[in-house]
């Protein structure tokens, strides 16, 4: 059984040993943004949705609970969840991965004399996404909450706690904290001291496929799963997705286009470049990556706010609105007639300022819905290409790119990716995303697969391949240089805008 605690939904699925869905259920949920740059959810809603979906899956599969060999949880990363000394949830509005309220703390640490040493130890630049800076914000702004916190856990860790009573962080989530030593995969007491935090408020770090506990009697009563069913540590949703996106050998890259859009590359050691971030893979090895917090979310925003006519048309025709938008975008040549889109609706992490905002650059009277949709697809992809460029400049050859997530359902977008990356792009027959990755980790933990690589190779089947068209690649190479130039020129105005009186 795989459990995926996403931003827009919680999903539970039962999978057979070849990775095929037996039954699944999903519940949508909302992200609350009480202030600009703030993003919150209630972990108890995640748990309630998890329980509801487990029951629906059991019913749909006519499941004997004893048939569930193991459970793996993947969760949205960097959520900052405080537990009290009795394990009670101390906040029902926790900071999420895209919350930027701690940006000033991350920015301040960049001028700290210890920044170079800290970044070397943790393998990452100081950015607001990391758990350590989010905890700093709590210590400064919610002092009683910080004082009363026994342990800080992440989203997968919270669900694991409700299932097993065990409090842990897996090594993927811990590596996304700015607090884990890349050499030891344990907490760095030195960096934790630099940030003024308490190491005893952090949970034990475990490997992603390690069995950390079993379904308790109480959890069994609530969920209907069999008491004693093994539960593995699981991983951050991004790393679960990377397992199910074919990232099982160094030299492979994955483009994940969901709410956020992520370009990840599998390497043996972290790429020490301040423009990139590094996470420990759910397998041995590391993932340098670039991320756009509002990648696919930018297209969803455009659809929701500016495509009312297309939404009405889709309802009338019983057609997916994105299919209508794809058709309109197909009418335009590569480059959208010089229209560039900068997809920073939720700011940037390491390649730009956290105060960045979304920009359409090059609007003319000819620009309509189709050109803007294509420009959004191209802008997200041009941004992700920057990660490939940096990783290859560090000496890592990238052979191909796998793409999953909602964006992979668009053949147009997949071809745009092949043309912009100038590499073969592959989609999968069944893109189950993080839910498959978390289930594979459960399979490894209980001995179904020898390791996550074997599990992924057994479960994944390529559906389509997209080869780069050199005539289009040449145009995109030209636009890529303009894209980087405009991006760099926008940084100071973005920062000034954030200081508007």
The pLDDT mean for the chain works out to 95
Whole-number Å distance between alpha carbons of 9 and 163: 19
7-47 residue pLDDT tens: 989 999 999 999 999 999 999 999 999 998 899 999 999 99
Model confidence, pTM: 0.84
pLDDT at residue 232 tops 80: yes
Q: What is the pLDDT of residue 431?
A: 66
Whole-number Å distance between alpha carbons of 284 and 171: 10
Whole-number Å distance between alpha carbons of 47 and 159: 6
| Class of domain 2-240+432-460 as given by CATH | alpha beta
Q: What is the pLDDT of residue 259?
A: 84
Q: At 362, list the tokens.
A: 């090059």
pLDDT at residue 478 tops 70: yes
327-374 residue pLDDT tens: 999 999 999 999 999 999 999 988 999 899 999 999 999 999 999 999
Helix (H) or strand (E) holding 213: strand 211-214
| CATH placement of domain 295-428+466-491 | 3.30.420.40
485-499 residue pLDDT tens: 999 999 999 999 999
Whole-number Å distance between alpha carbons of 105 and 128: 8
Q: Which of 197, 122, 97, 210 has the alpha carbon at shortest distance from 152? A: 197
Helix (H) or strand (E) holding 294: none
Domain boundaries, the chain: 2-240+432-460, 295-428+466-491
Same fold, 2-240+432-460 and 295-428+466-491: yes
Residue 274 phi, psi (nearest 5): -60, -15
> CB neighbours (10 Å) of residue 484?
16
Whole-number Å distance between alpha carbons of 109 and 129: 14
């Amino acid at each position: 059984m795989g459990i995926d605690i996403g931003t827009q939904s919680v999903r539970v699925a039962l999978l057979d040993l070849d990775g095929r869905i037996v039954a699944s259920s999903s519940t949508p949920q909302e992200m609350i943004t009480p202030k600009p740059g703030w993003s919150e959810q209630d972990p108890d809603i995640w748990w309630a949705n998890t329980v509801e979906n487990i029951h629906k899956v059991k019913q749909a599969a006519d499941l004997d609970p004893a048939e569930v060999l193991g459970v793996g949880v993947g969760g949205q990363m960097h959520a900052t969840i405080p537990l009290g000394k009795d394990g009670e949830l101390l906040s029902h509005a926790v900071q999420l991965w895209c919350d930027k309220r701690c940006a000033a703390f991350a920015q301040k640490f960049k001028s700290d004399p210890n920044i170079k040493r800290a970044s070397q130890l943790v393998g990452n630049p100081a950015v607001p996404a990391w758990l350590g800076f989010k905890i700093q914000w709590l210590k400064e702004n919610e002092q009683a909450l910080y004082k009363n916190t026994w342990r800080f856990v992440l989203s997968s860790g919270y669900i694991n706690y409700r299932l097993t009573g065990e409090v842990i962080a897996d090594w993927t989530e811990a590596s996304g904290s700015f607090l884990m030593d890349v050499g030891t995969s344990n907490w760095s007491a030195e960096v934790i001291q630099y940030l003024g935090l308490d190491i005893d408020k952090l949970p034990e770090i475990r490997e992603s496929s390690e069995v950390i506990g079993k379904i308790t009697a109480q959890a069994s009563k609530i969920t209907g799963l069999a008491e004693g069913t093994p539960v593995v540590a699981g991983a951050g949703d991004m790393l679960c997705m990377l397992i199910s996106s074919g990232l099982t050998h160094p030299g492979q890259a994955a483009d994940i286009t969901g709410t956020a859009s992520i370009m990840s590359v599998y390497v043996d050691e972290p790429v020490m470049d301040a423009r990139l971030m590094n996470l420990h893979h759910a397998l041995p090895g590391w993932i340098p990556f670039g991320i756009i917090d509002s990648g696919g979310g930018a297209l969803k925003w455009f659809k929701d706010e500016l495509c009312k006519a297309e939404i009405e048309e889709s309802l009338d025709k019983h057609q997916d609105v994105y299919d209508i938008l794809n058709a309109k975008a197909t009418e335009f040549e590569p480059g959208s007639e010089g229209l560039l889109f900068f997809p920073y609706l939720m700011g940037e992490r390491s390649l730009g300022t956290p105060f960045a905002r979304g920009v359409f650059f090059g609007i003319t009277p000819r620009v309509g819905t189709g050109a803007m949709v294509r420009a959004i697809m191209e802008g997200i992809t041009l941004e992700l290409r920057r990660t490939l460029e940096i990783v290859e400049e560090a000496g890592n050859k990238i052979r191909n790119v796998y793409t999953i997530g909602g964006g992979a359902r668009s053949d147009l977008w997949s071809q745009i990716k092949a043309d912009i990356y100038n590499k073969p792009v592959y989609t999968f027959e069944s893109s189950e995303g993080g839910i498959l990755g978390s289930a594979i980790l459960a399979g490894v933990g209980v001995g179904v697969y020898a390791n996550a690589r074997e599990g992924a190779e057994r479960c994944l089947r390529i559906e389509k391949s997209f080869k780069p068209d050199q005539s289009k690649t040449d145009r995109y190479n030209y636009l890529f240089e303009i894209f980087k130039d405009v991006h760099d020129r926008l940084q100071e105005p973005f920062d000034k805008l954030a200081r508007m009186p």
